[in-house]
Chains A and B, each alone.
Chain A
C-alpha cells in the first residue's frame, strides 16, 4: 500500500523538515525553560546534599544560614557533639562575595574580567567526609593546611595552583569541585574555617585604622594613666569567634526529629532537619523567583502548544486543493484523515527530536544550571504528540468538509 502521507511529505520535504525544525526550536526553548526551573530547584537541593548534614543548628529564632543571617559562637559545636545520636558536628560559615584571581599589576584588567561572584564557605580542614566538606573533587586534593588554601568550583573559572584573593589574604587553589553551588546558583569556594571567620568579619585595613583612631579618641577606652585599656579594646575589636551554622550528621540509627528536639530544648538553638531545610529553601528562599520562572514556563507551554496547533492546521489547509482532488478521485475519508494525522505526528516527532537536541546542546552554555530531566522530556513528548493529534483532528474535520468540486472549481 502506498503511504499517502509519505508521498506527500516526499513531495515537499524541504518545507516539511524546516517547519519541523522551526517547531523543534520552539519546543527546545520550552524544554530549556523547564530545565531552568528544574535547575533552580536543583541548586537548592544540591546545596543541602553537598553540605552533607542531617541537621542544621543555627542562631535561635532565625531561618539561617541560607535564608537569614545567623551567628553562633564557634565553641558551641562541642556541646552538640556529645549529644546521643550525633555522629559529627562541624562549624561552617557562608559568605557571598566577589572573588578575583591574584595577579600582578600588568594583568589587572584580566583579573577584573575573571572576577566571579562566589559563595565562600569556611569548613574545618583535614576531616574527610566531615559535614560541610566538598564530597567529590574533579581535580586536585582536599584542604590540608589550616590556612590560605581553597577548593573552588570549576565554574568559577579558577585553575589548580592559581592564587585568588579573598579580602586581604591570598589563597592557593588546591582542588576543584563540580556542582557545588549556593541556592542562588553562585559557585562555592571552600576555605579553612579560621580564614573564613576572618574574611567574614575582617574589615579592610583603612576601616581598621579608622576604628583604632576612633577608639583612641574615646576617653572611655583611652584612659589617662591606663594605657593598656586601649590595647585590650583594640584587640577585642579585631577578633571573631562566630560561625553561621553548625552542620550535624547523625548516626545511622538516630531519629533526626528527636535529636533536633533535644538540641532545641537543651541547647537553645534553632534546628532544622533536611526536610525542613528543603522547605525553607523551596518555599521561602527561591519561592518567588522559581514561581516566576514556572509561570513563564506555563505561558510558554501554552503559546508553544497554540503555535504547533496553528502550524499543523495551516499546513493542512494549504493542501486543501490536493485533498479536494483526492476526494474527487474517490479516496476514502479514512485514508485522508490518516494522512493528515501521520503528517502531524511526524512533524511533532521531528520537532521533539530537534527540540530535545538543541536544548541539550545549548544547556551548558547557560550561566546558571539547566537541568533537563528525562521525565520532563517524556512529558514534553507526550504533550507534543497530544497537541499534534488534537490539531490534526481540527484539520481533518476541515479537510473532510471540503467540497470535491473545489478541485476543479476555484
Chain B
C-alpha cells in the first residue's frame, strides 16, 4: 500500500473551506438564539441603607407684603425701586389725595372758627354774669330802699324782674358756650378723621416683622396710574423668611417629617448644595399631582439671596436603617406577580422571590427575606432571563462604555 501523495490542491481547498465552516459554526453558537445571554453578577452586601427623598420646589418668601391703597385712587409717587432694601415703617410711596388737602384746609378754618365761637360764647357768659351780678345788687339795694320807703314797690319789682332776666341771660350764655365747645369737638374730630384718611394714602412698609428689613420685589404701578382698593403698588418680602416650597412624590414619602436635614441645590448652582431643614410638612397634600408639599428653610441664607421662584432640587435624608442585606435595584425583576432576583444555580438562572424593604436614591434595595449576605445574584443581563436559559458571566456587557 503506498502512502497517498499529499494532494496540494485538496489541502489548499480545505484550507479555505475549513476556516469558513469554523466561522459559520462559531457565529451560529455565539449569536442568535443558541448563544448564551451575557450577564454580570453582584453579591448581596450587608449595608446600611440611607433612604432619601428627592423633591423639586421653588424658592419663595414666607412673608410677602402687598402694599397698596385701601381705597381706589391714583398713584402720585412711588419712592422705591425693585431690589431696594427698605426698613420697617419706611415710606414707599403715596397716593394722590385729590381734594383731601383742601378739605383739610377747610377743616382748619372751621376749627379756628369753632375756637373763636367758644371764645365768643365765654365772653357772652361773662357779659351775662356781669349783668346778673349788677341786677342782683340792684335788687338788694332797692329792697333796702323799699324797706326805708324811699323807693316804690313798682321800681323794686322792676329790678327783681331785671335780675331774673339777667339770670336767664347767664343760663343762655352757658348753653351757648357748651354748644360752641361741642362744635369745636366735632370740628376737631372731623379734622382728625381727615388727617387719618390722608395718612392712609401714604404707602409704608410694615412697622414690624422685618428683622432684616424688607426687599422690594415688584413695583406694580407707576405714578399716575389708577389702582383699585387692595391692589398692590409695591410688593415687599421679608428676605429672612425665604424658604423652598418643595413637592415630593407621595410614593414612599411617608417618613417625611419636620426637622429632617435637607440638601438644597439651586438650579443656578446645580453643583453647590446648600444645607437646609424641613420646616414643616403641609397637612394638605396635592391630590391632583399626587405629591406631598413641604417647606424647607435654609440653614444659612446664601449671599446673594436665592431668587424668588428659582427652581431648587431638594434631597431629604431620612434616618438611616440598620445594616441589612441589599442588592442594586437593577437586579430586581417581577415575575408572575412576585418580586425577586435571578441567581445562578449550577450555571443556570433560577428565580428567587424576595420581600424588600427600604431603598435609597443610589439604587440599593434592602432585602427583608429571601437572600443572605454573600449570595451572588445576576445584576445586569443582555436580555430578559428565563429558567434554564444558557448564560455566560462577563465583567461588563458589550456596548457599555466604562
Contacts and interface: CB of A to CB of B under 8 A. Distances in A.
A165 interface: no
B174 interface: no
A143 B396 CA distance: 21
A238 interface: no
A128 B334 contact: yes
Interface string A122-157: 001111111000011111111011111000001000
Contact of A138 (B34, B313, B381): B381
Interface in B280-334: 288-290, 313, 328-330, 332-334
A17 B334 contact: no
B330 A175 contact: yes
Given A10-B7, A17-B17, A354-B20, A178 B383 contact: yes
Nearest to B10: A10
Interface in B309-362: 313, 328-330, 332-337, 339, 356, 359-362
A137 B288 contact: no
Contact of A144 (B220, B248, B359, B381): B359
B385 interface: yes
B380 A13 contact: no
A333 interface: no
A219 interface: no
Interface string A144-178: 11111000001000011000000000000011101
Contacts of B23: 357
A350 interface: yes
Contact of B336 (A178, A194, A252, A373): A252
Contacts of A354: 20
Contacts of A127: 251
Contacts of A356: 24, 27-28
Contacts of A178: 382-383, 397, 399
A65 B252 CA distance: 29
B251 A126 contact: yes
Interface centre among A87, A130, A141, A175 (most CB of B within 10 A): A141
A146 B21 CA distance: 53
A87 to B, nearest CB: 6
Interface string B376-397: 0000111111000000000011
Contacts of B363: 140-142, 144, 174
Contacts of B361: 144-145
A372 B220 CA distance: 69
B33 interface: yes
Interface in B3-53: 7, 9-10, 12-13, 16-17, 20-21, 23-24, 27-28, 31-34
Given A138-B380, A141-B363, A350-B17, A146 B248 contact: yes
B55 interface: yes
B330 A142 contact: yes
Interface string B224-241: 000010010000000000
A125 B54 CA distance: 12
Contacts of B7: 10
A257 interface: no
A350 B117 CA distance: 133
A129 B333 contact: yes
Contacts of B260: none
A43 B360 CA distance: 34
Contacts of A251: 337
B20 to A, nearest CB: 6
Contact of A139 (B228, B251, B313, B400): B400
B401 interface: yes
B226 to A, nearest CB: 9
Nearest to B251: A126
B56 interface: yes
Nearest to A141: B363
Contacts of A135: 333, 384
Given A136-B333, A138-B381, A142-B330, A10 B13 contact: yes
Contacts of A141: 328-330, 362-363
B12 A13 contact: yes
Interface string B268-280: 0000000000000
B87 interface: no
B332 A176 contact: no
B33 A374 contact: yes
Contacts of B220: 227
A263 interface: no
Contacts of B33: 373-374
Contacts of B12: 13
Given A128-B339, A144-B361, A372-B32, A357 B20 contact: yes
A373 B333 CA distance: 27
Given A10-B9, A353-B21, A357-B20, A129 B32 contact: no
A206 to B, nearest CB: 18
Nearest to B328: A141
A178 B329 CA distance: 17
A6 to B, nearest CB: 8
Given A136-B381, A225-B228, A227-B231, A75 B288 contact: yes
The 10 closest A-B pairs by CB, nearest first: A129-B334, A141-B363, A145-B54, A146-B249, A137-B330, A139-B400, A138-B397, A13-B13, A360-B27, A10-B9
19 contacts: A75-B288, A87-B337, A124-B251, A128-B334, A136-B330, A136-B381, A138-B399, A141-B362, A144-B361, A146-B56, A147-B313, A154-B400, A159-B401, A160-B400, A227-B220, A227-B231, A372-B31, A374-B32, A374-B33
Given A154-B399, A357-B20, A373-B33, 15 more contacts: A10-B13, A13-B16, A75-B290, A124-B251, A127-B251, A141-B329, A141-B330, A144-B54, A146-B55, A146-B249, A147-B56, A179-B383, A252-B336, A353-B21, A357-B27
